[in-house]
Every structure is written in C-alpha cells, then in structure tokens.
Structure 1
Amino acid sequence: MPTPSLDIPRIRAVTIDLDDTLWPIWPTIERAEAVLLQWMAEHAPATARLFQSTEALRAIRNQMVNLRPDLQHDLSALRRESIRLALTQAGDDGALAEPAFDLFFAERQRVTLFDDAHDALAFLSSRYPVVAVSNGNADIHKVGIGHYFKDSLSASVLGVAKPDARIFQAAAQALQVPPHAVLHVGDDATLDARGAMEAGMQAVWLSPAEAAWPYDTPPHATVSNLTELCRLLTA
C-alpha cells in the first residue's frame, strides 16, 4: 500500500504524546521506584523487607491492573493503590500510601527531555496551538514545559485512553478545529499513530529505532527524532 503523504497546509493544530516522545520514560520510573523503596525502608520497614526491589514494586503495580480494572486508565490511582496493597500485605499502615505516592509522583515528574525536545516544542508552538495527549500521569507544568501547550489531556481525566478515538476528538475540541486539521505526533504505532488516524487526524510516527510499521495502512510520515519532524514541517 502506498505511503500517504503529509498534507502540511491542512495542519492547523498539533497534538503530541509525552512519555517516550519528549523524554524516555523508563529511566524516570526506575528512579522514582528506587526513591520510593528508600522511603519505605525508613517509614514502612516491613514493606521494604517484603518488597526488596523495584522489580517487586512494579510487579504488584502490574497486579493491580487485574485487581482494579476500573482504574486501568488512571495510572496515578493504580500506583497509589498498589502501594497501599504492598503496605497492607506487609502489615504496615495502609494510610502511608498517600505520602508514599506523593513522593513517587514528584520523582516521576523529574524527567530528562530528549536533547531536541525544547527546540522542537518551541518550533511547534510558534506555528500551531499544541495540546498534549497522554495515557500517562506526567504534568507538563511540573515537568517545566507547560508554556508550550494550550492544554493537556490525560486518560485519567477523560476516562478513556489512546487509541480510543474519543481522547483524540476531545483534543480537537480543545483546539477548536476538526480532527482532519490536527497532526498527532507520538512514538507508539498503535496508541498514537494508528489511533490518531482512525480518529480522522494526520499522524507522524516517531520511531527512533526505525522499527517496521506493524499495520497495513502506514502513517502519514515517520521520523526518527523531533528535529526531523520540524524539518519535515518546513519542507
């Protein structure tokens, strides 16, 4: 199937993913989990003994997805309740989940942006209104990039997650343009690019590893980094 070409004049607004599009997420999560484990060693020693590694903390967080499917779109709630479960399983006070999560959440916002992220966001926001669309729980203002964005939409607030068309449609409404006038940029082939296209948007797939596109209908464009995206939009 031929590759669709990006219709640049049609673009009146941009939506963009956050985790793994503007910064690598797993180094951030691993550091936040390590800080959480250190906190537990001091404030919830029984839990620290029962869950002696960040892998164990992540395993109980993943278990919470099955225990509380109603929270699957709210990563903050999933993490908070997984901490509470860890505490109660160890015999510590479940109320410690609140300060423990607050510590984790603060660390989760301490991301290290890709080298070209600030320049790319400055470029995009100087030309288009930009809205963040994320399934995660990063706060663009705590991260320090809020000034580039008109709005930020998260699955936890809307109750639906990418690739559900409703989260993309909500972004278009926030931008006050129809979906076909929006360009979405993101790293996930399914959640971002395919989801945006099925919602009627144009999509640029950010694929640093230059992986093979997994579906029949390709995205409107594929780039390996944000600088390449900016060059593409000025072509």
Structure 2
Amino acid sequence: MTLPLRAVIFDLDDTLFDDTGCTHAGLRALAAQSGLSVPPAELFARHAAHIRAIDPLLFRGELTAHEARVLRFTRLLTELGVPDPDGEAATVTYRGAYRAAWSLLPGAAEVLRDLRAAGLRLAVLTNYVREVQALKLAHFGLDALVDAVLCVEEVPAAKPDPRAYHAACAALDVTPQEAVMVGDSWEKDVQGALRAGLRAVWVNPCAAPVPDGVTRSVRNLQDLQWCGGFRAHH
C-alpha cells in the first residue's frame, strides 16, 4: 500500500538553482580574462573534471570553499597552458560573474510556496557544503520556505547513499515511503532515492528517455502539478 505523501525533498543545484547557467557565465569571464580560446563545452567539461578531483578535499574539511576554488582554477589554467596562473585572481573573476548570474530555475519559489501552503513538509538535500549553499538559499529566501536544509557535511554519506535520503526524512519526521525526492540527477536524485524507499521525480530538461516506467519525469518545475498532495505528469 502506498502511504500518503507528507514530504518533498529537493536537490538544489540545477533543480531549484541554475548552477549550470551561472557556471557558464563564470567560465566566459575567466576565458576573457585569461585570453583562452577553448570551446565553451570543452572548458565546462575540463572545469567539471577539476571540481570532481578537488571536491573530496573540501568535503573532508581539508580545504575551505575559497581554497578549493583557487586550487581548481590554478590547475585548470595550468592545464590550458596559461603561464604562471594566478588562481586568486581567476577565482575573483569567476566568482564575480557567477554571482552576477545567480538565478532560480523557472517555478522554483512558486512550487515551494504552493507545497508549503498545501501542508507538505519540505527539505533541500544537496551534495555540496553549507558554506556555499546557504548563501544561495538565503539570497532567494528559499531557506524560509523549507523545513530543513541538509548539506553534504551534515549527512552520514552523500547521495546516492540511502543514508542521505533517510537523514532528510528523519529531519522532516516522515518515513521514506511518505516522501518524494525531486532532482535533476538520474543517479543521485532518482535511482538513489528509489533504492532508499522514496518516490522520485526526475527534473529532465532535455526530455531524455526515462529508463524505467516507475519514475515520473518533468521538463521543469513548472510542469509539476500539485493537487491534493502530489502528482507529476510525464
């Protein structure tokens, strides 16, 4: 028997917040400052690879967010052949453009307000550090619309480990069977949530084929329809 829905758990980056758009803005500014002629898609991919390599140090507390950025851009510019790169200056340039581009994805705040008004409990579950994510949430007032925010250093393990979703459910005082996870990552927000016993909705802007028939898929948050609880249409 399916239990009534009592809680909705959201990913943050590229689910509520347009992280990809902001990242492209930051990288464009960095490329202009450094005289790079790398295709945007390649620059984005190289940057993402350095994030994956350095973030474990950040998550273990061995680096601050700023130190991680400086190291990331020093390595990235070195890889791209920039002589004696200034990681500090690159960080300032990137962060300035990234912050200037901050925006929510369409429907983000409205969905949270509608769910809250419907009496559902809400959480944000993110695989990044509070030092960074809390600023985004506060800037847009999203922290006032949710009951709990769980960042990577505050859960027993990051998504897609089941313990991450169970920690979010515990924070909302619901069982996994009473919660749905909404996010853009098939692995971290959908598969992991389903394995942990939650329902899941995939925010799938490119309309990629849904690998199974159980999960709901929407192009954006505006496609979510909330009626007497939760309902999402393909």
TM-score by length of 2: 0.71
CA distance in 2, matches of 1:80, 1:181: 42
Q: Tell me how large the CA RMSD over aligned residues is.
A: 3.5
The 8 Å contact of residues 165 and 199 in structure 1, kept in 2 or not, is answered as yes
CA drift at 1:95: 4.5
For residue 45 of structure 1, what is the aligned residue in structure 2? none
The yes-or-no answer on 1:32 pairing with 2:26 is yes
Q: Point out the structure with the larger helix share.
A: 1
1:27 partner SS:
helix
1:90 partner SS:
coil
2:142 to 142, 145, 168: 145
For residue 84 of structure 2, what is the aligned residue in structure 1? 91
Q: Render the CA deviation track for 1:67-119: whole Å, top value 9, x for unaligned.
A: 547348699565442113346763144444664565355346x12421x2222
| Aligned residue identity for 1:12 | R
For residue 99 of structure 2, what is the aligned residue in structure 1? 106
For residue 81 of structure 1, what is the aligned residue in structure 2? 71
CA distance in 2, matches of 1:28, 1:37: 14
| Aligned residue identity for 1:128 | L
TM-score by length of 1: 0.71
CA drift at 1:15: 0.3
2:193 to 177, 190, 196: 196
For residue 226 of structure 1, what is the aligned residue in structure 2? 221
Pick closer, same or farther for the CA change 1:69–1:133 going to 2, 3 Å. Answer: closer
Give 5+ residue unaligned stretches, structure 1: 42-47
The 8 Å contact of residues 208 and 225 in structure 1, kept in 2 or not, is answered as yes
CA distance in 1, matches of 2:219, 2:19: 17
CA distance in 2, matches of 1:54, 1:134: 29
CA distance in 2, matches of 1:66, 1:207: 22
The yes-or-no answer on 1:61 pairing with 2:47 is yes
For residue 11 of structure 1, what is the aligned residue in structure 2? 5
CA drift at 1:59: 5.0
Pick closer, same or farther for the CA change 1:23–1:59 going to 2, 3 Å. Answer: closer
The yes-or-no answer on 1:135 pairing with 2:130 is no
CA distance in 2, matches of 1:82, 1:204: 32
| Aligned residue identity for 2:182 | V
Give 5+ residue unaligned stretches, structure 2: none
Which stretch shifts more, 92-101 or 69-78? Answer: 69-78
